[in-house]
Amino acid sequence: MVTATHEASHRIFQDRPELLTPVFELLGVPLSAKASIAVLSADVTEIHPLERRVDTVLRVEPSDGDDFLLAIETQGRRDERKATSWPYYVTYLQAKFGLPVLLFVTCTDRATARWAAGPFTCEIQGWTTNCTHPLVLSPDNVPVITDQRTAARNLAMATFSAITHSRNPKAPAILEALAGALQTTDAQTAVYFSGLLEIGLGDTPARQTWRKLMSFTNFFPGRGTLLEETYLDGEANGAAIGEARGEAKAILRFLEARGIHIPDEARTRIADCTDLDVLNRWLDRTPHAECVHDLFAEEQPNGTADQAGAGARA
């Protein structure tokens, strides 16, 4: 099952490629300080009945080395199927693009991380045909950033640290440092990272800590940002309609911060929605939506649209 935490943990590399340089340092793999990064199709399907998809695929073009591909997977738990699908991703991408491939996996759980490091081999009677060694990012090698100045220097790494260590006892200190760091940046950047972090924290207690920090700390007084308008308006109204308006406002501001065009009809649909369950689903989809219509995708098992979607098309 693809969760919001899963999406946020790999999507941040697409949206903020500057995160790759410090990450490669953590993994002990040299990477040029200047490199061109391009997002490639994650579809590695060859046979129609079987769909395979890598979470994120990036083409890295270092200024002082050869190009290569970076396949990024987020793994929330041990899954024995990955022993065959990960080698498939690597060999398929190498054959398709004619470039060497690095596979790295992000984990928030240490036991899962130890398993994900592999190696995953195809062998018989001592003969090895294929061996895949993923690079793994986990609580064991992602730094715990509790210093506000350190967080401010690299907001992407601080956000990734908070997601990775969401179950760490130091999670509140990490979040407080990041909250303080967001005061030093521009509103658009703060909207992006604060929204991505809330999604990435999933259902952990850290998410509630982050919500309280946003609810009771006026990060950008008088500047009309997401953090001020969404949560302070909701707190002042203290009613369901105020909360719904706050959720709708958060969705619209987050989409705008990501540069996604919002047609008038879609804007009205979001702003007028008062169903908090529907609004929460839409908010969870905002970090990985390619266009505003991705928010309204049908998701019921029987293929029927959600109530708000059905009403909008009536």
What pLDDT does residue 119 have?
Answer: 94
| Alpha helices (H) in 102-170, listed in sequence order | 110-116, 148-153, 155-164
Burial of 83 (0-12, 13-18, 19+ CB in 10 A): middle
Are 116 and 195 contained in the same domain?
no
Kindly state whether residues 179 and 308 are assigned to the same domain.
yes
- Top mean pLDDT of 39-48, 63-72, 215-224 is at 63-72
For residues 230 and 249, the answer to whether their CB atoms sit within 8 Å is yes
32 vs 4 pLDDT, higher one: 32
Q: Which pLDDT value is given to residue 26?
A: 83
Rounded to an integer, the average pLDDT of 223-231 is 47
More confident residue, 40 or 79: 79
Non-local (6+) Cβ contacts of 204 within 8 A are 166, 167, 171
| Alpha-carbon Rg for the chain in angstroms | 21
Q: Which stretches within 67-153 are classed as H helix?
A: 82-97, 110-116, 148-153
- 120 and 197, same domain (yes or no): no
Last residue of a domain, one of 108, 137, 166: 137
Given this model, what pLDDT does residue 41 score?
57
In a domain, 293, yes or no: yes
Q: Which of 91, 110, 137 finishes a domain?
A: 137
Contact 298, 309 (CB under 8 A): yes
Does residue 126 lie within any of the structural domains? yes
Position 35 confidence tier, pLDDT thresholds 50, 70, 90: confident
For the chain, how many structural domains are there in total? Answer: 2
**pLDDT band at 42; cut points 50, 70, 90:** low
- 240 or 148: whose pLDDT is higher? 148
Question: Does 124 score more than 60 pLDDT?
Answer: yes
Of 137, 168, 197, which residue constitutes the final position of a domain? Answer: 137
Is 278 part of any domain?
yes
Amino acid at 243: E
Section 87-108 average pLDDT: 92
In DSSP terms, 105 is beta-bridged to 73, 136
Angle between helices 171-182 and 155-164 in degrees, nearest 10: 160
Q: Is 226 in the same domain as 287?
A: yes
Count Cβ neighbours within 10 Å for each residue of 174-213 and write b for 16 or more, e otherwise: bbbbbbbbbeeeebeebbbbbbbbbbbbbebebbebbeeb
Are both 47 and 77 inside the same structural domain?
Answer: yes
Residue 142 lies in a domain: no
Percent helix, percent strand, percent coil in the chain, to nearest 5: 50, 15, 35
The share of the chain scoring above pLDDT 70, in percent, equals 77
Contact present, 128 and 121 (Cβ < 8 Å): yes
User: Residue 52: pLDDT above 50?
Assistant: yes
For residue 68, being part of any structural domain is answered with yes
Q: Are strands 35-40 and 101-106 parallel, antiparallel or unpaired?
A: unpaired
Convert the pLDDT of each residue in 130-181 to its tens digit: 999 999 999 999 999 999 999 999 999 999 999 999 999 999 999 999 999 9
pLDDT band of residue 195 (cuts 50, 70, 90) is confident
The β-bridge partners of 104 are 72, 135
Same domain for 176 and 288, yes or no, is yes
180 lies in the same domain as 258: yes
Q: What does the pLDDT look like over 254-307, one tens digit per residue?
A: 888 777 889 888 989 998 888 888 888 888 788 778 888 888 876 444 444 444
Supply 253's token pair: 């501001």
pLDDT at 215: 59
Pairing label, strands 135-137, 101-106: parallel
Instruction: State the pTM of this model.
Output: 0.62
156 and 38 part of one domain: no
Residue 231's pLDDT band (cuts 50, 70, 90)? very low
Domain for residue 143, yes or no?
A: no
Mean pLDDT score of the chain: 78
Is 77 within the bounds of a domain?
Answer: yes
Cα–Cα distance, 132 to 278 (Å, whole number): 41
Distance CA(209)–CA(112), nearest Å, equals 25
- Identify the domain containing residue 10 by its residue range: 4-137
Q: Are residues 132 and 216 in the same domain?
A: no
172 shares its domain with 62: no
How many other β-carbons are positioned within 10 Å of the β-carbon of residue 295?
23
Hey, what amino acid is at 152? A
Residue 48 lies in a domain: yes
Whether residue 82 is found in the same domain as residue 175: no
- Whether 244 shows a pLDDT value over 90: the answer reads no
* Same domain for 218 and 93: no
